Amino acid sequence: MAEVSTARRTRITPEREAELYAAVLDLLREVGYDALTMDAVAARTRSSKATLYRQWGGKPELVAKAIRHNKPGGADDVDTGSLRGDLRALTYREDDCTMQQNAALMRGLFMAVHGNPDLLQAFRELLVEPEMDEFRRIMQRAVDRGEIRADRPALDYVVHMIVGAFATRSLIDDRPPTQDFLMSYIDAVVLPALGVPVP
Amino acid sequence: MAEVSTARRTRITPEREAELYAAVLDLLREVGYDALTMDAVAARTRSSKATLYRQWGGKPELVAKAIRHNKPGGADDVDTGSLRGDLRALTYREDDCTMQQNAALMRGLFMAVHGNPDLLQAFRELLVEPEMDEFRRIMQRAVDRGEIRADRPALDYVVHMIVGAFATRSLIDDRPPTQDFLMSYIDAVVLPALGVPVP
């Protein structure tokens, strides 16, 4: 296989990478994070464990990258010219089925994070931080356009508001998060907290 | 012991009940929900398993009641005459140390809830619903006082806002939830979303 090389990080094709990530997510859904082994990933993807470790460093990084890979594209995709448009576009990037699959994956990972500092670090670096950067860019553009005052206190809590609603929806309402729910929440909570008028 | 009786639900003293709940919470912190057994609770509290089952019905109910018991008193405690005062009083009921212990307990339970419908039901009936009732009463009084318009959309999402922030604080900021954080969040997000002026 192309991965067997003396380079510190070997090159694998994007197709092969996507295939590996898909296998990791399948395993994650089937057995959960704790029971997922690098052996199982190697067997399912017909790779060597050495390759997996060389390429990703370890299970926490591999899993976090696989989940990240599965999420829709970066912030560059989203720039509609208004804050409400941007937040709605973010919501529309995942259909309800994908959103619920991702919610289940995140929940599984969130559960495993406790008592596992390596996973927590990978989770934060590879999933939480990129997500927060994305929101920061969207908010900065809204501030630059004059939609939000730069000293609006809710700017510090955009991710808490949105991820919190996403995470608590099932528990509180016995219903999974959906696009409709998130859009209603954006209009009811996020925009008013930021002082942005809702049409 | 007094519990051994032919009555459907036997009487135990409030002190004995508190002692039992404390032991359940200790065990929960030590071993987590899944590994907690009714045998261990019986042994630690010198009760019979039959008594525990007769009194509480099962492990999910016992654990949910123990956590509920540990939380500060009902809504009747809180009626300061303003929404901001009520929300601050709720926050002040738990000092930071208690809040963090409860956050850890809730996290453990939340983890166990998935794949355990009995626990989910007990969790919802005994913990989520009473909490939501408490918020509903506080919000209704604010509506009655004219602080919040009755048709304000954010009224549907008060618990999502607050529990969501509480639940995501550690993950997003690598810091536990505190009174200061919650009070800042109430002023930045909850009150503006409800259209209530922040002094």
Do residues A55 and A82 both lie within one domain? no
Which of A144, A131, A132, A152 minimizes the C-alpha distance to A196? A152
Confidence check: pLDDT of A117 > 70: yes
List phi, psi (to 5°) of A71.
-80, 150
Domain for residue B147, yes or no? yes
Do residues A22 and A118 both lie within one domain? no
Range 104-123 of A in CB contact (< 8 A) with B: 107, 110-111, 113-114, 123
Integer-rounded Cα Rg, in Å, for chain A is 19
Question: What angle do the packed helices A158-173 and A96-113 form, to 10 degrees?
Answer: 100
Please tell me which residue, B110 or B42, carries the higher pLDDT value.
B42
Domain for residue A5, yes or no? no
Q: Which residue has the tokens 């549907």?
A: B156
Q: List the structure tokens of A89.
A: 């576009």
Partner-chain residue, chosen from A156, A174, A193, that has the shortest CB–CB distance to B192: A193
Please tell me which residue, B156 or A11, carries the higher pLDDT value.
B156
Residue-range definition of the domain harbouring residue B61: 14-67
Candidate ranges A24-38, A65-79, A154-168, B7-21; pick with highest mean pLDDT: A154-168
Do residues A102 and A137 both lie within one domain? yes
Tell me the per-residue pLDDT of B113-134, one tens digit each, with 9 for 90 and over: 777 888 888 888 888 888 888 8
Q: What is the mean pLDDT of chain B?
A: 87
Indicate the DSSP class of residue A190.
I
Do residues B36 and B85 both lie within one domain? no
Judge: B193–A193 Cβ closer than 8 Å, yes or no. yes
Partner-chain residue, chosen from B128, B171, B193, that has the shortest CB–CB distance to A188: B193
User: Which amino acid is it at B197?
Assistant: P
Candidate ranges A91-105, A115-129, B83-97, B113-127; pick with highest mean pLDDT: B83-97
Q: How far apart are CA B171 and CA A110, in angstroms?
A: 9
Domain finish residue from A5, A38, A67:
A67
Domain finish residue from A67, A89, A111:
A67
Judge: A153–B188 Cβ closer than 8 Å, yes or no. yes
Do residues B23 and B92 both lie within one domain? no
Candidate ranges A31-35, A90-94, B154-158; pick with highest mean pLDDT: B154-158
Three-state secondary structure call for residue A162: helix
Do residues B87 and B18 both lie within one domain? no
User: Which amino acid is it at B135?
Assistant: F
Do residues A34 and A80 both lie within one domain? no
Partner-chain residue, chosen from B174, B184, B195, that has the shortest CB–CB distance to A192: B195
